[in-house]
Amino acid sequence: MELEGKIVKGIAGFYYVNCLTETGEKLYECRAKGIFRNQGRKPLVGDEVEIKILDQEKKEGSIVSLFPRSCELIRPAVANVDQALVVFAAARPKPNLSLLDRFLVMMDQQSIDTIICFNKKDEASDKEIQRLSDIYSGCKSRVLFVSAKYQEGTEKLEEWLLGHTTTVAGPSGVGKSTLINLLVPDACMQTGAISQKIDRGRHTTRHSELFRIGEDSYLFDTPGFSSLELAGLSKEDLRHSFPEFREHEGRCRFQGCLHLMEPGCSVKEAVEESRISRERYESYALLFQGLQEKEKRRYS
């Protein structure tokens, strides 16, 4: 018998495939057929697959085919994700905006829209909220302030997540788990179903997992991060990942202006006139410098 499903977790060569059957959702533990390895293809969490049932009682199967992906993220490695949600605290801890900006660049590089969610709005002053809101008003990402603890502002978020597969990221200590538990009330049950199957001394912690939150809606929870390295990006390309700069492209005096030391720069003018957030611009300059140093190290 064959079934279609979605890979929700991958651990040590095993894939956990969630299948919607006539009698409800069922989770199968599967191996991937050797042909994928021969073809240089590796199933990813998020992949839509066809599985062959090997043991109905033990819920074991084998992945026999992979359906085409709509997209593939490299970091984190996940298939068919169409948007990202990045969670930071509005205060306590004070958000590390340089880290947030790096995340935005990383997603932009992979053509993924990002929702910026500032949690713990109950712990931030109106002034702090306004400041964050101003900084990110021109970045093209949707920005939302919520309090997972008091369940404030989360309806809007739920609305934005519906019908999408969203990768969720954020540093630790920002209340990401509280938010996930709110969005996926049966998260523990879904995790439990997998844990039961992998209760064989294999590593179970710190693995990314896909949660079903509704019809065609999934959340991909990834481990917390404290740093992000921009890989495969040249310093000259960095400016294209700052949406605020885009309308200025071609308006600077020099062609290929990097918006740094060049005179007659339309971006710098916009920063001076507060049409582009100074924090975002400084963040760009800092990231540029980081990439430049990295390149120097590579060639020295």
| Distance of closest approach, residue 287 Cβ to Zn ion, in angstroms | 16
| Distance of closest approach, residue 245 Cβ to Zn ion, in angstroms | 8
Identify which of 162, 161, 180, 160 has the alpha carbon closest to the alpha carbon of residue 170: 180
Q: Which is nearer to Zn ion, 218 or 242 (CB)?
A: 242
Please name the helix (run of DSSP H) or strand (run of DSSP E) that holds residue 165, with its range, or none.
strand 165-169
Q: Which is nearer to Zn ion, 80 or 241 (CB)?
A: 241
Q: Which is nearer to Zn ion, 118 or 245 (CB)?
A: 245
Q: How far apart are the first and last CA of the chain?
A: 59
Q: Is 64 exposed, middle or buried (0-12, 13-18, 19+ CB in 10 A)?
A: middle
| Distance of closest approach, residue 288 Cβ to Zn ion, in angstroms | 12
> Residue 236 CB: number of other CB atoms within 10 A?
11
| Distance of closest approach, residue 198 Cβ to Zn ion, in angstroms | 53
| Distance of closest approach, residue 280 Cβ to Zn ion, in angstroms | 14
Q: Alpha helices, DSSP H only, in 68-211?
A: 97-109, 126-135, 154-161, 176-183, 187-197
Q: Which is nearer to Zn ion, 220 or 281 (CB)?
A: 281
Residue 178: φ, ψ to 5°: -60, -40
Q: How far apart are CA 39 and CA 1, in angstroms?
A: 24
Q: Which is nearer to Zn ion, 88 or 245 (CB)?
A: 245
Q: Which is nearer to Zn ion, 116 or 267 (CB)?
A: 267
User: Which residues are at the interface with Zn ion (CB under 5 A)?
Assistant: 252, 257, 259, 265, 267
HEC assignment per residue over 213-276:
EECCEEEEECCCCCCCCCCCCCHHHHHHHCHHHHHHCCCCCCCCCCCCCCCCCHHHHHHHCCCC
| Distance of closest approach, residue 102 Cβ to Zn ion, in angstroms | 21
Q: How far apart are CA 230 and CA 236, in angstroms?
A: 13
Cis amide linkage into residue 43, ω under 30° from 0: no
Encoded tokens for 223: 């481990």
Q: Which is nearer to Zn ion, 211 or 281 (CB)?
A: 281
| Distance of closest approach, residue 283 Cβ to Zn ion, in angstroms | 16
